[in-house]
A = this chain, B = another copy of it.
Amino acid sequence: MGKVLYVATSNVGKLNELRLLSAEYGLELVSIEVPKIEVQGDDLEVIASYAALTASTYVNKALIVEDSGLFIKALNGFPGCMSSYTYRKLGVNGILKLMDGVTCREAYFKSVIAYSDPTHGVRLFSGVVYGEISSSARGSGGFGFDPIFIPKGCGKTFAEMSIDEKNRLSHRAAAFRRFAEWFNKYF
């Protein structure tokens, strides 16, 4: 097997996407149970850095944390950094209700991967995908707000794609590829 890469997440959907991507780069992804401190804020970089730094210090291992959010222009960037909380409380229907009658459907998904090594600190990698909010939920793949996000130039939502297909387009894949290229060069 390839080099081991630890990731601090309990999100199975995220893990499945990252596992396929890791394999492309010869990395063996291992999820690690660790208390992860997620701060509030408007900045995925800060949230991912803090979570990765505290988690890697706690287990004394190098690891990655991935944090992402859906930023909707007409909603002033909401749900943004609070996407997972908002998803748990309001679901996709809450967002569709907030977008009811709104003409501007522009949105983007952003992902930040923080790699933290207990001795060398944190390094950040990000990826963004632009698109729009659909008028109704479509598809059963992916997770979170995937059923209402259509990447630019696509007729389909993220939830209507296979993991492979989503990994060719997604914010998370873009961030991960940047990370993996750097990681394989230096480690």
Q: Are B98 and A89 in contact (CB under 8 A)?
A: no
Interface assignment of A76: CB less than 8 Å from any CB of chain B = yes
Chain B residues near A40: list those with CB within 8 A: 38-40, 47, 82, 85
Interface assignment of A86: CB less than 8 Å from any CB of chain B = yes
Q: Is the interface of A mostly helix, strand, loop or mixed?
A: mixed
Chain B residues near A88: list those with CB within 8 A: 76
Q: How far is the CB of A158 from chain B (nearest CB, A)?
A: 22
Count contacts on A: residues with CB < 8 A to the other chain: 25
Of residues 39 through 92 on chain A, the ones whose CB sits less than 8 Å from some CB of chain B are 39-42, 47, 50, 75-82, 85-86, 88-90
What 7 A-B pairs are tightest by C-beta distance, nearest first?
Answer: A78-B89, A38-B40, A76-B89, A82-B82, A82-B85, A40-B40, A78-B90
A sample of 17 cross-chain residue pairs with beta-carbon separation below 8 angstroms, ordered by A number, consists of A37-B50, A38-B40, A39-B39, A39-B40, A42-B85, A75-B90, A76-B90, A77-B89, A78-B86, A78-B90, A78-B94, A79-B89, A80-B89, A82-B85, A94-B98, A97-B100, A98-B98
